[in-house]
């Protein structure tokens, strides 16, 4: 394999010709042993050709190549098996639409995700995190995966729908999400449509869940339009419906687009955040020194015991480092696809129009050339001044370029509020004999994590569980599974 001669001081050497992974059943290998399969690819080159069923695809294993892909969204458009499946399910929302439609859609939603608007939601986030752990007791075994899912779902439910969904309907949404996301990954790595048209029980469950989710969202939109005057509710659904009513030709969106945006925000905004939170607590329990440092920070910043507000968030430096390192170590979005819109060059190799390109944040985040000791959990990598050494394209939990995740600021604020408040009051311990099991589906993270909660400070006798916070008890957000009243299931995400 020939290579570009590196310039002085240039650390990377990018292959001219792609490696070809020397087996045929790559889709099966990617499904059965996904992380091991990905970790094996860089030995074959910086750009590796694989087969996914009948489809030829190229995996970009080098951060420079991934950076090139992400920074040229016009040439490397959202497409390939993952997004083809997602469009069938979600429609052309801001996360799945083609390049030519993206700017208008992002401009429509951007006001709801600006930093000032996210700061307005910190109280809401605090109310919900306090609510989900209010009834924990010393020594109780808590399904952390289900609890963090409940938290992120309730936060998003309030931001997106206000109180438009009753509890039973929201529980059904939750169940549908579980079924759909379980089926997405297989449909991505084995893109053979005929397999999924066979009326097997799994295929029937997937279709039924997809149909029900569309029907529920359509009904919620119709009810809101029928019963609520324009502009009365200050939530994202209200923003979308206001745009659909617009008389301006450039601003107006269609009914189908409203549904697509709602679907996209539901899928993108629930499980990724919950998996990040569950991973953070799982990793902290295995790294007691990092946990002690986190406790020291939150004890100082949150001395009154209340959830952090907009003024406290900037002071939670180590908390944010813990979350950033969690996203490096275990990114919920671990595998993505793009498709070329024209013949182009990548790593010196010519790719035809319509070529599928894959990239994996997990693979890049564990590259020792970018992150020494990549398997170690080291939050100090992200202290101010240190992160500048990370090469472009090496750390991409929220992607990059014009298609960078619109919800990054929102997700990081929500996760910071949750980790800081819970760590201020509780220490979470693994059950005896705990063994980490990572089984990626459409996203990566622990889905059946049960931990023992221990209070970090003894409450006064007869003090009600919510008394240590001055935040008002949140009204039960229609919603989504609550581990206090139900058995605790988990959901998998896009």
pLDDT above 90: percentage of residues in the chain: 43
Q: Is the pLDDT of residue 489 over 70?
A: no
pLDDT in tens, 391-419: 889 999 999 999 999 999 999 999 999 99
pLDDT in tens, 445-488: 998 899 999 999 744 333 334 433 333 333 333 333 333 333 33
pLDDT of residue 226: 77
Lowest-pLDDT choice from 5-19, 38-52, 61-75, 181-195: 5-19
Per-residue confidence at 110, pLDDT binned at 50, 70, 90? confident
pLDDT of residue 176: 80
pLDDT of residue 246: 60
Contacting residues for 59 by C-beta, under 8 A, at least 6 apart: 38, 41, 47, 48, 49, 50, 357, 358, 359, 360
The residue with greater pLDDT, 304 or 165, is: 304
Contact 242, 108 (CB under 8 A): no
pLDDT of residue 18: 53
The residue with greater pLDDT, 459 or 325, is: 325
pLDDT of residue 475: 37
Q: Is the pLDDT of residue 492 over 90?
A: no
Q: Which residue has the tokens 């398997």?
A: 375
pLDDT above 70: percentage of residues in the chain: 79
Lowest-pLDDT choice from 323-327, 333-337, 454-458: 454-458
Lowest-pLDDT choice from 96-105, 182-191, 210-219: 182-191
Euclidean distance between CA atoms 113 and 413, whole angstroms: 11
pLDDT of residue 334: 92
Q: Is the pLDDT of residue 169 over 50?
A: yes
Q: Is the pLDDT of residue 285 over 90?
A: yes
pLDDT of residue 213: 83
Per-residue confidence at 239, pLDDT binned at 50, 70, 90? confident
Average pLDDT, stretch 167-186? 73
Average pLDDT, stretch 340-364? 95
Q: Is the pLDDT of residue 14 over 50?
A: no
Lowest-pLDDT choice from 33-42, 216-225, 312-321, 343-352: 216-225
Sheet with 141-143: strands ordered across = 141-143, 450-455, 426-430
**pTM of the prediction?**
0.81
pLDDT of residue 232: 63
Q: Is the pLDDT of residue 355 over 50?
A: yes
pLDDT in tens, 243-283: 776 655 555 667 778 888 888 888 778 888 999 999 999 99
Per-residue confidence at 11, pLDDT binned at 50, 70, 90? very low
Contacting residues for 445 by C-beta, under 8 A, at least 6 apart: 274, 275, 276, 278, 279, 330, 332, 438
Q: Can you give the three-state secondary structure of the chain, one letter per residue?
A: CCECCCCCCCCCCCECCCEECCCCCHHHHHHHCHHHHHHHHHHHCCEEEEEECCEEEEEECCHHHHHHHHHCCCCEEECCHHHHHHHHHHCCCCCCCCHHHHHHHHHHHHHHHCHHHHHHCHHHHHHHHHHHCCCCCCCCEEEHHHHHHHHHHHHHHHHHHCCCCCHHHHHHHHHHHHHHHHHHHHHHHCCCHHHHHCCCHHHHHHHHHHHHHHHHHHHHHHHHHHHCCCCCCCCHHHHHHHHHHCCCCCCCCCHHHHHHHHHHHHHHHCHHHHHHHHHHHHHHHHCHHHHHHHHHHHHHHCCCCCCCCCCCHHHCHHHHHHHHHHHHHCCCCCCEEEEECCCEEECCEEECCCCEEEECHHHHHCCCCCCCCCCCCCHHHHCCCCHHHCCCCCCCCCCCHHHCCCCHHHHHHHHHHHHHHHHHHEEEEECCCCCCCCCCCCCCCCCCCEEEEEECCCCCCCCCHHHHCCCCCCCCCCCCCCCCCCCCCCCCCC
pLDDT of residue 55: 79
Average pLDDT, stretch 35-60? 89
Q: How far is CA 394 from CA 39, 61, 220, in A?
A: 15, 10, 40
Provide the CB-side half-sphere exposure for 335 (13 A, CA): 25
Query: 3-7, 172-176, 384-388 — which one is most confidently predicted on average?
Result: 384-388
Q: How far is CA 176 from CA 15, 24, 182, 449, in A?
A: 44, 34, 10, 21
Euclidean distance between CA atoms 332 and 327, whole angstroms: 7
Nearest to 163 by CA among 474, 483, 430, 425: 474
pLDDT of residue 88: 77
Average pLDDT of the chain to the nearest whole number: 81
């Amino acid at each position: 394999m020939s290579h570009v001669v590196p310039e002085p001081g240039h650390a990377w050497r990018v292959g001219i010709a792609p490696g070809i992974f020397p087996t045929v059943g790559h889709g099966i290998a990617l499904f059965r042993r996904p992380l091991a399969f990905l970790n094996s690819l860089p030995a074959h080159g910086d750009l590796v050709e694989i087969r996914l069923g009948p489809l030829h695809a190229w995996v970009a294993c080098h951060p420079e190549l991934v950076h090139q892909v992400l920074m040229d969204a016009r040439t490397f458009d959202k497409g390939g098996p993952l997004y083809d499946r997602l469009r069938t399910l979600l429609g052309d929302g801001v996360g799945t639409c083609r390049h030519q439609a993206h700017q208008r859609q992002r401009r429509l939603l951007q006001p709801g995700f600006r930093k000032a608007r996210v700061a307005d939601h910190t109280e809401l986030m605090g109310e919900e995190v306090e609510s989900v752990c209010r009834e924990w007791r010393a020594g109780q075994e808590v399904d952390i995966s289900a609890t963090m899912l409940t938290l992120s779902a309730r936060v998003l439910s309030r931001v997106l729908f206000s109180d438009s969904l009753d509890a039973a309907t929201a529980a059904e949404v939750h169940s549908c999400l579980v079924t759909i996301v379980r089926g997405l990954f297989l449909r991505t790595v084995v893109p053979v449509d005929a397999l999924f048209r066979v009326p097997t029980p799994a295929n029937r469950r997937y279709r039924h869940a997809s149909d029900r989710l569309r029907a529920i969202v359509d009904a919620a939109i119709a009810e809101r339009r029928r019963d609520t005057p324009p502009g009365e509710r200050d939530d994202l659904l209200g923003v979308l419906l206001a745009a659909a009513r617009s008389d301006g030709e450039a601003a107006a969106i269609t009914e189908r687009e409203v549904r697509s945006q709602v679907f996209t925000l539901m899928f993108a905004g629930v499980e990724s955040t919950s998996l990040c939170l569950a991973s953070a607590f799982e990793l902290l329990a295995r790294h007691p020194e990092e946990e002690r440092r986190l406790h020291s920070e939150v004890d100082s910043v949150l001395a009154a015991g209340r959830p952090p507000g907009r003024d406290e968030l900037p002071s939670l430096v180590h908390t944010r480092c813990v979350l950033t390192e969690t996203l490096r170590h275990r990114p919920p979005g671990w595998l993505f696809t793009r498709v070329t819109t024209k013949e182009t060059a990548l790593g010196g190799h010519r790719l035809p129009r319509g070529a599928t390109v894959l990239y994996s944040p997990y693979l890049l985040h564990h590259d020792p050339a970018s992150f020494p000791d990549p398997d170690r959990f080291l939050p100090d990598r992200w202290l101010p001044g240190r992160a500048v050494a990370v090469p472009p394209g090496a750390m991409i939990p929220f992607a990059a370029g014009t298609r960078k995740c619109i919800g990054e600021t929102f997700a990081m604020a929500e996760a910071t509020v949750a980790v800081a408040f819970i760590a201020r009051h509780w220490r979470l311990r693994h059950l005896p004999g705990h063994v980490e099991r990572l089984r990626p589906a459409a996203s990566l993270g622990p889905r059946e994590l049960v931990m023992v909660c221990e209070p970090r400070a003894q409450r006064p006798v007869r003090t009600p569980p919510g008394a240590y916070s001055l935040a008002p008890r949140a009204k039960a957000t229609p919603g989504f599974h609550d581990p206090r009243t139900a058995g605790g299931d988990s959901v998998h995400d896009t």
